[in-house]
């Protein structure tokens, strides 16, 4: 679905632009690590006890990814709203492949733009607004995409990841 931007890719004139982190970096305390390690070990032992080795392997791989991610600085990527689509990092999403968007703005915790692709198998494009004015971002996108006014809360997966500090 997204097009990897090359030197000859036409994206149109940039209307809005800001830099975001590729993922959120959380400050995790000692108790978080104790709880997650004990939960992870419990799930691995459960997987081994029930002969579900694939489940145990997935839990181990998820723990390794979280551990490695916690010691890396998140890369900075540029988000752009252009005349022909949106750009996130080196990927261009044209408007004809996007369904709608919505903004969840509940400062200071949640200031996020969500863009839904037409292909339901693709994940939502999640962009932190940071210090951007949500009204100007909304006005820029409303010209090209339909706004989903029924969405009033962030997706459960984002709520879960933010509360448990896993993404």
How would you write the pLDDT of the chain (167 residues) with one tens digit per residue?
688 888 888 888 999 999 999 887 778 889 999 999 999 999 999 999 999 999 999 999 999 998 888 888 889 999 999 999 999 999 999 999 999 999 999 988 899 999 999 998 999 999 999 999 999 999 999 999 999 999 889 999 888 988 888 87
**pTM for this one?**
0.85
CATH topology of domain 3-23+75-163: PH-domain like (2.30.29)
Residue 69 has a pLDDT of 84
| Alpha carbon distances (Å) from 54 to 38, 51, 62, 156 | 19, 9, 12, 25
Task: Please give the structure tokens belonging to residue 97.
Answer: 């492949």
CA distance 129 to 110: 9
Position 6 scores a pLDDT of 81
**What's the CA gap between 55 and 166, in Å, rounded?**
18
Cα torsion angle, 21, 148, 153, 117, sign: negative
Q: To 5 degrees, how large is the angle CA 141–CA 144–CA 149?
A: 60
């Amino acid at each position: 679905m997204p097009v990897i931007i090359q030197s000859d890719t036409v994206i149109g004139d940039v209307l809005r632009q800001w830099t975001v982190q590729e993922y959120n970096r959380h400050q995790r305390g000692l108790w978080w690590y104790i709880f997650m390690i004990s939960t992870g070990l419990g799930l691995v032992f459960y997987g081994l006890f029930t002969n579900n080795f694939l489940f145990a392997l997935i839990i181990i791989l998820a723990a390794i990814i979280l551990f490695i991610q916690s010691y890396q600085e998140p890369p900075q990527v540029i988000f752009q709203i252009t005349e022909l689509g949106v750009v996130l990092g080196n990927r261009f999403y044209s408007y004809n492949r996007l369904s709608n968007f919505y903004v969840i703005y509940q400062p200071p915790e949640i200031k996020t733009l969500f863009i839904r692709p037409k292909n339901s198998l693709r994940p939502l494009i999640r962009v932190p607004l940071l210090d951007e004015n949500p009204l100007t971002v909304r006005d820029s996108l409303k010209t090209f995409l339909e706004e989903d006014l029924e969405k009033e809360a962030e997706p459960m997966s984002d709520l879960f990841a933010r509360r448990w500090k896993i993404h």
